[in-house]
Amino acid sequence: MFYDEVKVNFKAGNGGDGCFSFRRGKYEPKGGPDGGNGGRGGAVYIIADTNVADLTDYHYKPGWKAKNGEPGRGSDQHGANGTDILLRVPVGTVVIDRETEDPVAEVLAHGDQVLLLEGGFGGKGNETFKSSVNQAPRQFTLGKPGEEGEYRLVVKTIADVGLIGFPNAGKSTLLNMITNAHPKTGAYPFTTMFPMVGVLEYPDQYERITVADIPGLIEGASENRGLGHRFLKHVERCKVLLVMIDMEGTDGREPIADFRVLLNELKLYMPGLVKKPELVAANKMDEPNAPEHLQAFKKKFKGKVYPISCVSDEGFVELKQALLEAVLEVRLAEKALEEEAEENSNH
């Protein structure tokens, strides 16, 4: 089972209590205050790790708590700080507060680390309150409680290209043939039960892009029908959309109608998705009815259409180059925006 969304409870450690103590030695029957401070409670950090595929660990163990700080002791001994916990999550994870439904943190690259909850401060021992006018302080303070919260962890796949289409359109087969990913393929709906990400290499151009196979959408996916509603969120961070259409019209499907339905589902889920650069892979061109359907499709859709066949490898070279060019164009635009933002922040 692939878990890309879970409910969790996190708590930072409490601070240790300060100590109330006076020295009592053989030659110091009335020694001064020597109560040490309590240690600080452990904090809770979220860290992105490419070696973590999903949120299975948090599904089976939804509650996590950092260590409390140790209490102070006599002889001026301070309590040890509680151990922090580093919660490793997949790259692209968003932490959402379950009470407000507001995002509170996200990690977008391997190694990104965010402090989610701070540990409680340790209490002060009575030695801390010693002064020239208060030589025998009887004050001490208790440790503060650590922060805690109830969250939803949501994984949103980060990939350059999001591969979308109806079940049996050939997405998994295409991903299998052009990248290093090996998703399950078969002649029945919903062979892909979770997003798969593969790397598409361009050795001659010293480039590589990532392609994510988003599990099959159906009409009504944005309204929680089928499997699509679970996976539409994985399209959000893709730079380019590759819409795969079955040009043969298997099982009486209409390529033009399929394309319109897919775009409509994206728009209903998040209007901004349809503004992403978009290419169409017209698959199954080896089938007898495909050329006629392609001609009709091109009359209705004026965008970039690439006829391909996952049986004969037709059109793969052109499609792969088009994907690279589209991704590089977006990367260039993003870099320009980052440089502009940095320049504005410096002024």
Q: Give CA 165 to chain center in angstroms.
A: 22
Give burial (CB, 10 Å; 0-12/13-18/19+) of 140: buried
What is the greatest pairwise CA distance in the chain? 105
* Tokens read off for 49: 């790790």
User: Which amino acid would we find at residue 62?
Assistant: P
Q: What percent of the chain has pLDDT over 70?
A: 89
Q: Give CA 112 to chain center in angstroms.
A: 11
Q: Which of 100-104, 195-199, 256-260 is predicted least confidently?
A: 195-199
Whole-number pLDDT of residue 229? 54
Average pLDDT of the segment spanning 7-18? 96
161-344 sits in which CATH class?
A: alpha beta
Per-residue pLDDT tens over the stretch 115-164: 999 999 999 999 999 988 888 888 999 999 999 999 999 988 888 998 98
Phi-psi region of 151 (alpha: psi -120 to 50; beta: other; left: phi over 0): beta
User: Of residues 311 and 13, which shows the higher confidence score?
Assistant: 13
Q: Which of 31-35, 69-73, 74-78, 187-191 is predicted least confidently?
A: 187-191
1-155 and 161-344 have identical folds: no
Residue 230 pLDDT grade (very low, low, confident, very high; cuts 50, 70, 90): low
Rounded distance between C-alpha atoms, residue 120 and residue 36, angstroms: 17
Whole-number pLDDT of residue 313? 81
Whole-number pLDDT of residue 190? 41
Per-residue pLDDT tens over the stretch 179-213: 875 544 444 344 445 677 888 999 988 899 988 88
Q: Which of 45-49, 56-60, 88-92, 333-337 is predicted least confidently?
A: 333-337
**Per-domain residue ranges for the chain?**
1-155, 161-344
Q: 153: closest CA among 50, 13, 269, 56?
A: 56
Mean pLDDT over each residue of the chain, to the nearest integer: 86
Is CATH 2.70.210.12 correct for 1-155?
yes
Average pLDDT of the segment spanning 215-224? 56
Rounded distance between C-alpha atoms, residue 251 and residue 262, angstroms: 17
Whole-number pLDDT of residue 166? 84
Residue 339 pLDDT grade (very low, low, confident, very high; cuts 50, 70, 90): confident
- Asked if residues 293 and 249 have their Cβ atoms less than 8 Å apart, the reply is yes
Query: What pTM, to 2 d.p., does this model score?
Result: 0.73
85-89 and 44-48 beta bridge pairing: parallel
C-alpha angle with apex 73: 71 to 79, nearest 5 degrees?
Answer: 45
Whole-number pLDDT of residue 185? 45
